[in-house]
Structure 1
Amino acid sequence: MAETMEQLVITKASGEHVLFSVGKLKLSLRKSGASDEVIQEVLRLLEPKLYEGIPTKKIYKHAFAILKKLSKSTAARYSLKQGVMQLGPSGFPFEKFVAELLNVQGYTTEIGVFIDGQCVRHEIDVVASKDGKRYMIECKYHNLHHNKSDVKIPMYIQSRFKDVEKVWPSEHEFEIRFHQGWVVTNTRFTEDAIRYASCANLHLVGWDFPHKGGIKDMVDSFALYPLTCLTTLSHTEKQHLLDMRVVLCKELLHNEALLHKAGVRDKRIHSVLDEVENLCGS
């Protein structure tokens, strides 16, 4: 089975044609918590659905649908990237999500802070503080996997950072208002963006950047899954919760009232709470 699948040519989102990697699929399933038995069953049921040139997006959809029938909480973890993509487009859910990832690591955070710079007034997505230092954080949300943050984004953030970095309480003295600028995105950065940020002392956080410090690693480490990962909620119910400024699965733990308010029917609430408990209850 694996040998036949490995010979299949598939189409990436960029349009590039590559050989299908069973190893990569197994790894992503294993990282989502799937057992060896579940992984083998996913591969067995997936193989008949594959064809020459199949887009990677369709492979993901088929694998997710199979996994959802076998283990809802594993399917929710597997859909993390897609779940984060569904946090838009208003910006606030992603900003709250980023702030929560920092809070659990000992930062104190504020969202949507207006600050006067030397030249103009700025709205800062997230202001984070820890160990006596303050960080100005810009959140760049993308709703497509292949949209990368290019060099223009860190250059723009650096110019804003320089405008608000220091405040002059008197003519001859200044105080440091921010110690570093950050850019956080749910996708990836181009090589030029990474190179520029390193030179300018900007901190970048992407989907899998830096190594062992990207969004995916942080979510898995702290079980801070966005509610958009849940397989037991409809798109409309998720949107109702996001409109109420509820972003994380953990906010739904033991909280039937929130689910009622989002329009979830009584007969489904138990299954939603079960999935929430399995996903982030520990």
Structure 2
Amino acid sequence: METTVDVIKSSGEKVKFSIDKLRKSLLRSGAKQATVDEIVDIVINELYDNISTKEIYNRAFALLRKEKSYLASKYKLKRAIYELGPTGFPFERFISAVLTYSGYKTEVDKVLQGSCISHEVDVVATKNNSTTIIECKFHSEKTFKCNVKVPLYINSRYNDIKAHWNKNLKNTSVLTEGWVVTNTRFTEDALKYGTCVNLYLLSWDHPVNNGLKDRIDRLGLYPITVSTLLTQREKQFLLSRDVVLCRQLVGDAFYLDHLGISEKRKEKILNEINMLCHH
């Protein structure tokens, strides 16, 4: 089935509607082929010239939510990451939590001494006697890309810290890596520079098949903001208590009691989260 309808992206750019993109994003949520085909058919029938991609997303999301709420939660992952803002601090906590579940011991907002000056580092992660320092760049604008200035700046900080770290006898691990993590994307120059100086760049879809979205899906480490059943106020309460992952709620359901959530609704929320984390 082909369509020649023009759609308007969030950047204001006009492009041809892609059925393939819509289908792939729905399949990524874990929805069955029959469900995906049904949603795609409905969306196509409702298309009109210059429709916004946001409107298409909202319609597909509503249809998926009707089918199963946890599928809709997976589908809204990208938007849920933006909802961690606007300060960027919950994003740092989220990255720290993802790394903790990947076997790292992490610390957030740590001041480290360099050879020249001291530096505030977003996340310090240690595994197998190797330490990684991570700078998190959160952007609330989807169209914003991290340009080459970001890895240039982070690499100079990393080298300053490393020069001091590895000659400090108090350190029991070796500083081996510097990372830059963003919820958006990097420019081509930023990626080239990162590769050249051996700085690890992690974005929404980079490296290929191992970007942020792939890691989250693979490990089932979804931010609390993906929930379709929690209100914005409830999500903000949980974030303020450092509950940034859905998985954390499974073991600490008492946070829902603090919010005065009824047993029936609590059961629904925990069921959605369990399905999401273990599907």
TM surpasses 0.5: yes
Q: How does 1:185-200 map to 2 (within 5 A)?
A: 185-200=182-197
Shift of 1:165: 1.2
Question: Is the deviation greater in 205-214 or in 112-121?
Answer: 112-121
Looking at structure 1, the residues matched to 173 and 247 of structure 2 have their Cα atoms a distance apart, in angstroms, of 36
Match of 1:180 in 2: 177
- DSSP-derived class of the 1:178 partner: strand
Displacement over 4 Å in runs of 4+? 168-171, 174-177
Name the residue aligned to 1:275. 272
In structure 1, what is the equivalent of residue 118 of structure 2?
121
SS in 2 for 1:52: coil
| Aligned residue pairs, count | 277
Percent same amino acid among aligned pairs? 43
CA 1:25–1:117: 2 relative to 1, 3 Å: same
Question: Structure 1, unaligned stretches of length 5 or more?
Answer: none
Match of 2:232 among 207, 227, 235: 235
Q: Give yes or no for the alignment of 1:136 onto 2:133.
A: yes
Q: Does the CA-based 8 Å contact 2:134-2:180 persist in structure 1?
A: yes
Residue of structure 1 equivalent to 2:66: 69
Matched, 1:219 2:219: no
Measure the CA separation in 2 of the matches of 1:168 and 1:72. 47
- Report whether the alignment pairs 1:205 with 2:202: yes
CA distance in structure 2 between the aligned counterparts of 1:169 and 1:217, rounded to whole angstroms: 33
| Local SS of the residue matching 1:209 | coil
| 8 Å Cα contact 1:124/1:136 also seen in 2 | yes
Residue 91 to residue 16, structure 1, CA distance change in 2 (3 Å):
closer
How is 1:93-104 mapped onto 2 (pairs within 5 angstroms)? 93-104=90-101
Render the CA deviation track for 1:150-209: whole Å, top value 9, x for unaligned.
1111111112112211228989xx999622211011111000100111112111000010
Give 1:87 shift.
1.0
RMSD: 2.2
Do 2:104 and 2:127's aligned partners in 1 also have CA atoms closer than 8 Å?
yes
The answer to whether the Cα contact below 8 Å between 2:204 and 2:211 also exists between their aligned partners in 1 is yes
- Residue deviations 1:199-252 (CA, integer Å, cap 9, x gap): 121110000100121111101111001110010011111111101110000111
Corresponding residue SS for 1:204? strand
* 2:206 counterpart letter in structure 1: F
Q: Which amino acid in structure 2 is aligned with residue 49 of structure 1?
A: E
In structure 2, distance between residues paired with 1:177 and 1:119: 19
Give TM-score, length-normalised by structure 1: 0.91
Contact map agreement 1:168 1:175 (CA 8 A) in 2? no
Q: In the alignment, which of 164, 169, 173 is matched to residue 167 of structure 1?
A: 164
Answer yes or no: is the 8 Å Cα contact 2:166–2:175 preserved in 1. no
Give matches, 1:50-69, under 5 Å.
Answer: 50-69=47-66
Residue number in structure 2 paired with 1:106: 103
Please state if 1:147 is matched with 2:144: yes
2 CA distance for matches of 1:100 and 1:169? 26
Give me the whole-angstrom Cα distance separating, in 1, the residues matched to 2:109 and 2:247.
Answer: 23
Q: Which amino acid aligns with 1:279?
A: L
Change (3 A) 1:224 1:47: same
User: Which deviates more from structure 2 when the two are superposed, residues 209-218 or residues 272-281?
Assistant: 272-281
Tell me if structure 2 keeps the 8 A contact 1:134–1:180: yes
- Higher mean alpha-carbon deviation, 152-161 vs 104-113, is at 104-113
Return 5+ residue gaps in structure 2 as ranges: none
1:81 has 2:78 as partner:
yes
Select between 227-236 and 250-259 the one with higher mean Cα deviation.
250-259
Give the SS at the match of 1:264: coil
Alignment partner, residue 259 of structure 2: 262
Question: Measured at CA, do residues 190 and 168 of structure 1 come closer, stay the same or move farther in structure 2, by a change above 3 Å?
Answer: closer
The Cα shift of 1:145 comes to 1.8
